[in-house]
Structure formats: structure tokens, C-alpha cells
Structure 1
Amino acid sequence: MEIVNASIPDIKADPQYLDGNGKDVEDFAQRVDHMFMKVDQLEQTLNKVEQFYSRKRQLNTSKGSSIPKDKDKDKHLTNFRKRQQDVSRRESAAVKRMQELMRQFGTIIRQITQHKWAGPFMQPVDVVGLGLHDYYDVIKKPMDFSTIKNKMEFKDDTGYSSVREIYADVRLIFENAMKYNDERDDVHVMAKTLLGKVDEKWLQLLPKVDEEEKNRNEEEAGAQIDMQLAQEATHARITKDLNIELEKVDRDLEELRDMVLQNCRRMSTEEKKKLSSALTSLSPEDLDRALIIVSQDYPSFPATSQEVDLNIDSLSESTLWKLKFFVKGAQQFQNRSTARMAGNNHHNNDNNKRKICNAFAKSSQKSRK
């Protein structure tokens, strides 16, 4: 994707273009360098914007868009701003509700641990003392109530984040005991009995857990939409600013190019001859662009005609240098093309040579006369 349409000559590399002193050339070169740095910065910004919207399109295609449609965006964005104002309050309320559920389940745990059969499950299994050499082969994740209690007291990321996690670990205590011990073993029977009591009380608490998880999922989905809307708003603003900067760069480049053209020296006869030869080697598309450059300075010039009679000696110096700068850029692009592309264009270039050479032959004949 091109950032700017205006083209500027590499005057630092070819100071002989200018009909002025060394300071003029250096001033122009510094302005060009500054412009190139600016364009590089804009290109980096443009790439980031394009990457964002590319990822957004891929996400919408693969999963379906969760972003509201355009007609709903303004309404949702207004609601988003309102929600952002009390985001801390909502998060604090959600944490308190989950803590209350954990407290209620903690009461259930205390009731279970006070049961007369809870003793074998209060501390980690004494694998060495009991000589249970195959315990860790059978039980991959040991669990006990003291471990659960300690984890419930942690306030960092190592603690529980939801009541469902605590319930899973409580079940694991009894499931491990039932898995390792035979069905007729006392520990197995005790574990199965206590697990039934836990599940019974859990079913009483479950509606509250489901409701809280539903609320949390809705809030998380809303937060995800809010984040995406915020990102879109940010990139929309960046895109708007980028367009303004690009328009300014276009104007600056056009002004700089005009300044360069006004200070260009007269083109020699040999340079005109080389320019004529270079024009005949252009691709059909580049040749059309070159003729349009002429028509911009000479509105009556038939740039789109099937046959064009161009007298290069009649062109102004600024037009000649515009053509030279354009041809140089086009040739550099052609040199970067692959051999296959060059081969495919070869036949077309021959046609262009015949069409243009006739015009330049007339020009040469007129010059000789």
C-alpha cells in the first residue's frame, strides 16, 4: 500500500539535477531526508492499523462478530462510557458476592469436618508411616481438608478464585479415598458417605453459584465488547490523524517537487536522447502514466490517443525533469521484478517501442530540418 502519491527526485544522490550552489543542494537534501523519515514513521503507524483491522476481520470470520452492528454501536458506546464510570464498584461487588458464596461453602466444610468419620481426611495421607508404597502410583493429586483450608486463606493467585474450585477439591478428597481403598474397606465407606452429604448440601447452594457465574460471564462478555470498542475507537482516531498527516505529507512533497523542478538546470541534448530511449522501454502502464504527466502540463496533449506524436524538444524543462524522475523510479521498480515477469512484459514493450519511436523519429527529423 502506497502512502503518498507525490514523487521526489533523489537530489542528494544526484545533485547535478539542480542549477544552484552546494548549499541549495544540501538544503534540498535535508528536506528530502526529513520527509523520508516522516514517511517511514507514518508507514509504521499504517502497518499497525492494518494489522489491527486484519486481525479483527479474521476473528469475525472465524468466530462470528461479537461487536454490535453499526446501528447499535453508538448506543453501546454510550452504555460503555456509563459502565466505565462504575467499573470499580461492579468489580468490588462481584468479588464480595463470590466471597459470600465461599463463606457459605466454608460453613458446609466445617459441618463435614465435624462429622465423626472425618478424621482420616483432615491431614495429608501418611504414605511412609502407613507403608503405602503404591499410593502415588494410584493417586495423582492428593488432597485433604487442611490443604483446602490453607488455600482458602490465601489472598494471592495461589488461592481459590471461585467456590466451584473448592467444591472440586472437597470431592477429590473422598474420590481419592474411594479409588485407593476397596469398596468393603471402612475408609472407602466413610468417604462415600461423607461425599453424599457434601453433594446434598452443594445442590442447595448450586442455584446461587449458577446465578453468580451467569452474571460474571455476562459481565466478562460485556467487558470484552467494551475492550474491542475501545480499541476500535482508538484505531479510528489514529486512522483519522494518519489521513491528516498523509495529506500534509502529500502537500509538502508536491511543494518540494515544484521547488526542485523550478531550480533544475536545462537538460542537454544527450540527456533528452537518453530520456527518449528510456521512455520506449516502459511497460504499457508506466507509458500511460508518463503521457499523463505530459498532459498535466499541456492540457491539449492527446495522452489517451492510440497514436501519440510527441516532440520532446518542445517540452518545458520542468516537464522533461518530471519525466526523467518518473522514468528513473519506474526503471528501478522494473529492475526489482522477477525474470518471469520481465519475460511476460517483453512482447508488450516491443509494441510500446514501435509506437513511441515513431513519435520520437518525427521529433528527430524536425530537429534535423
Structure 2
Amino acid sequence: METADAPVPEVRTEGEPKFVEELGQNVDEINIKVDELEKRLNEVQQFYSKANKKHSNTSKASSILKDKDKDKQLTSFKRRQQDASRREAAAAKRMQDLMRQLAALLRQHIMGHKWSGPFMQPVDVVGLGLHDYYEIIEKPMDFSTIKAKMEAKDGTGYKNVREICADVRLIFKNAMKYNDDRNDVHVMAKTLLAKFEEKWLQLLPKVDEEDERLKQEEADAQFDIQLAQEVMHAKMAKDLQTEFAVVDRNLEELREVVLRNCRKISTEEKKTLMTVLTQLSPEDLNKALLIVGQNNPDFQADDQEVDLDIDAQSESTLWKLKFFVKDLIQSRGKSPTSIGGNTNTTVNTNVNQNKRKKETNGALGKPPQKRTKKAS
């Protein structure tokens, strides 16, 4: 009886060096292709792994991708992408208008006030002998610095009207922090700060409206990015599925080429193969019969009684059965009898007969009077 270490197919190489060389090249090409596909697959898996951590955004994007109006959504997305620069320019213009309105408010009601003098230029720390000024004030500020920053053209200027508001407040809070509340500078700063807050409230609704608008546009832009990534990776996944299917077909074709060039299985090996098949469990026997049916469309593997002529099988089918049996033996133990445990099975192993029937009464735990699969 054949041992667990079943031999691998012996490919005929004598006089066929070109075939062997081409076979090796095909294997190398498939390996390279598989490595490439695995890298792309890892990229897709990593994307969806990270996306799952951002459940809300991913769920929203995924729902759009699955929606019947997906094409409409994607068209809208592309249109928004094309209008991105226009939207950014419009937002910048609106913000510039708000900053101009704030500048006019400051000139008219704050910087033009009779008490604004102490706050127009940086504090003369040295001239006034304010040796502890920088110990108390972390960030000095004055209106000349604000004006220069508002007029800057090199990208160092204010980007948002709220930044200007914060610096105006800082001017007066610095003065109130450094000077005692009975000091004239403290009183002037407190008065001008209250006046500024009053005027700022008039502009605030427009500022809030613009903030909400920018927030929504940023959310839309972020969602567009997420949607674009979903579309790209969904396409990658679909392409990978197709390409892996091509690789599977190439491997199967290569396997068939190898099997066609294998040596013929001897009569003794056929006997051994039939003996091992009789010891398979019903589940594994079904798998073996499916292998036979792959190359023989007329073979019915799902009948209650199966006729299997081992001599009529092609070399390719026989080698596939040997591979299958070898894998079972290696995975479940070295003894062929350990792979099935189908002790109720009786088989006619005479390989010279055209018909051999295998009785598997009771193999599936059914009463003996019920007939199950039968192979010989």
C-alpha cells in the first residue's frame, strides 16, 4: 500500500528543455504578479481598516456608494471639485469684506477716540522704565501692529476677522493687567474695550454666518475627499477581484500543462489509490468525486449509487486524486486508515473491472437500510 509520502508528479523533461524553461518563466511571472496584487490588496485593506475607525464618515460615504443615485452623487462631487478654487476665492473675498468692515469700525469708534493715544504704538518699555513689563505681559500688542498685519501682502497677515478681534482685546487687557485699576491707562483701556465689544456685537451675526458657511464647506470638502477615496478603493477592490480570477485561471492552466506532461500512473498505483479512496469519510469522498466530475461532465457524483471506473480516468484526473489524497494524509496523520474512519464502507477494489461499486451504508450516521453514496 502507498505510504503517506505520496510522490509528486514526475514531469517528462528528456528532450523537452524548452518546455521546462517556459514553465519556469510562467511560474516566475505568476509569482511577480501575485506579489504586486498582494501589495495593492494590503493598501485596500488598510484603507478600510482606518475607515472603520471613522465610522460616521465612512458609513455616510458607503451609503452613497450603495445608493441608486451613486452616479448622480459622483457627478455632483466632480462638479464641486471643479468649483473648489472658485469657492475658495469667494470665501476669501467675503472674509476680506468682513475685515474691512471691522477696520472701519475700529477707525471710527476706537482708534479715532480721544483716549486711544496710549494704545496706538508699542509701549516704550525702556523710555518709561517699565523693567518688569515683559515679565507681566507675555504678548505685547498695539494698533499700529494690527494695522500693519491687516495690510500685509506676504501671507503673514490676518486670515480671519476673529484674529483681529482677539488682538484688539489683547491691547486693552494688557493695559488693564499691567496698570492698577485706579490708573488712568487702566480706566481708558476698560472704557475702550467695553465700547469695542458693543460695536463688535453689531458685526458678530455676519461673522457667525460666515463661520457656519466655512464650516459647512470644509465638511463638504472633507466628505468629498472621503468619497473620492471610497470610489478609488472600491474600484481597486473590483479590479483586484478580476485580476486574482485571471491568476487563478492561469494557475489552473499551468497545472493542466504540468499534469499533461506527467508520467502515467501505474496499475499498482491505481490499486493503491482505490484502496485509500475506500477509506475516506463521506465528506471527503464527495470531494474526491467532484474532482472526477471536473474532467468528466457525464459523471454524476450526487447519485445514491456511483460507478467509478478508475482505468477510464485521465492522467490529469488521477494525479489530482493523488494530490487530494496526499494532502488529506499529511494533514490528518501518516496512516491512510486515519483519514476517514469509514469502517462501515465496503468496496470492490478490483481495478480490472469496468464497474466498481462502493457501499457507504451508515457512513453518515443513517440506519443501515438507507443507501448512501457508493463508489468503486
**Shorter-chain-normalised TM-score: which range?**
0.7 to 0.9
Q: Which has the larger radius of gyration?
A: 2
Cα deviation, 1:154-188, whole Å, max 9, x if unaligned, reads 34553321101111111111112212222111221
Query: Which of 14, 21, 31 does residue 26 from structure 1 map onto?
Result: 21
Query: Which of 317, 320, 323 does residue 318 from structure 2 map onto?
Result: 320
Secondary structure of the residue that 1:265 maps to in structure 2?
Answer: coil
Residue aligning to 1:352: 339
Q: Is the 8 A contact 2:280 2:341 kept in 1?
A: no
Secondary structure of the residue that 2:253 maps to in structure 1?
Answer: helix
Secondary structure of the residue that 1:140 maps to in structure 2?
Answer: coil
Closer, same or farther in 2 for the Cα pair 1:185/1:40, shift >3 Å? same
Q: Is the 8 A contact 2:293 2:300 kept in 1?
A: yes
**What is the correspondence of 1:61-140 to structure 2 with a 5 Å cutoff?**
65=60, 69=64, 70-71=67-68, 73-111=70-108, 112-140=110-138
How many Å separate the matches in 1 of 2:75 and 2:323?
Answer: 52
Could you tell me which runs of 5 or more consecutive residues in structure 1 were left unpaired when the two chains were aligned: 1-13, 335-344
Q: Is the 8 A contact 2:270 2:310 kept in 1?
A: yes
Q: Is the 8 A contact 1:295 1:303 kept in 2?
A: no
Residue aligning to 1:143: 141
How many Å separate the matches in 2 of 1:145 and 1:259?
Answer: 85
Secondary structure of the residue that 2:236 maps to in structure 1?
Answer: helix
> How much has 1:29 moved relative to structure 2?
0.8
Q: Is the 8 A contact 1:302 1:308 kept in 2?
A: yes
TM-score normalised per structure 1? 0.73
**What is the correspondence of 1:182-221 to structure 2 with a 5 Å cutoff?**
182-221=180-219
Segment of structure 1 superposing worse, 132-141 or 31-40: 132-141
Provide the aligned C-alpha RMSD in A: 4.1
> How much has 1:214 moved relative to structure 2?
1.9
Q: Is the 8 A contact 1:311 1:362 kept in 2?
A: no
> How much has 1:97 moved relative to structure 2?
1.0
Query: Which of 224, 227, 245 does residue 226 from structure 1 map onto?
Result: 224
Query: Which of 208, 233, 239 does residue 235 from structure 1 map onto?
Result: 233
Query: Which of 155, 158, 161 does residue 159 from structure 2 map onto?
Result: 161
**Residue 46 in 1 paired to residue 41 in 2?**
yes
Cα deviation, 1:39-96, whole Å, max 9, x if unaligned, reads 2212222222233233333322588636764245444333333333433222211111
How many Å separate the matches in 2 of 1:273 and 1:125?
Answer: 106
Q: Is the 8 A contact 1:59 1:65 kept in 2?
A: no
Cα deviation, 1:192-213, whole Å, max 9, x if unaligned, reads 1111121122111112212222
Q: Is the 8 A contact 2:57 2:226 kept in 1?
A: no
Q: Is the 8 A contact 1:67 1:228 kept in 2?
A: no
Closer, same or farther in 2 for the Cα pair 1:131/1:274, shift >3 Å? farther
Residue aligning to 1:250: 248
Residue aligning to 2:3: none
Cα deviation, 1:10-53, whole Å, max 9, x if unaligned, reads xxxx8953445222111101011101211221222222223323
Segment of structure 1 superposing worse, 279-288 or 322-331: 279-288
TM-score normalised per structure 2? 0.72
Segment of structure 1 superposing worse, 130-139 or 179-188: 130-139
How many Å separate the matches in 2 of 1:61 and 1:295?
Answer: 49
Segment of structure 1 superposing worse, 23-32 or 231-240: 231-240
Secondary structure of the residue that 1:17 maps to in structure 2?
Answer: coil
Q: Is the 8 A contact 1:292 1:303 kept in 2?
A: no
How many Å separate the matches in 1 of 2:282 and 2:174?
Answer: 79
How many Å separate the matches in 1 of 2:39 and 2:122?
Answer: 58
The aligned amino acid for 1:46 is L
Cα deviation, 1:111-143, whole Å, max 9, x if unaligned, reads 322333223323333445544444444333332
The aligned amino acid for 2:54 is L
Q: How many residues align?
A: 338
How many Å separate the matches in 1 of 2:196 and 2:74?
Answer: 45
How many Å separate the matches in 2 of 1:137 and 1:274?
Answer: 96
How many Å separate the matches in 2 of 1:330 and 1:133?
Answer: 90
The aligned amino acid for 1:17 is V
The aligned amino acid for 1:352 is I
Q: Is the 8 A contact 2:57 2:223 kept in 1?
A: no
The aligned amino acid for 1:44 is K
Q: Is the 8 A contact 2:169 2:193 kept in 1?
A: yes
Residue aligning to 2:291: 293
Residue aligning to 1:177: 175
Residue aligning to 1:35: 30
Secondary structure of the residue that 2:54 maps to in structure 1?
Answer: helix
Closer, same or farther in 2 for the Cα pair 1:288/1:222, shift >3 Å? same
Residue aligning to 1:17: 11
Closer, same or farther in 2 for the Cα pair 1:141/1:30, shift >3 Å? same
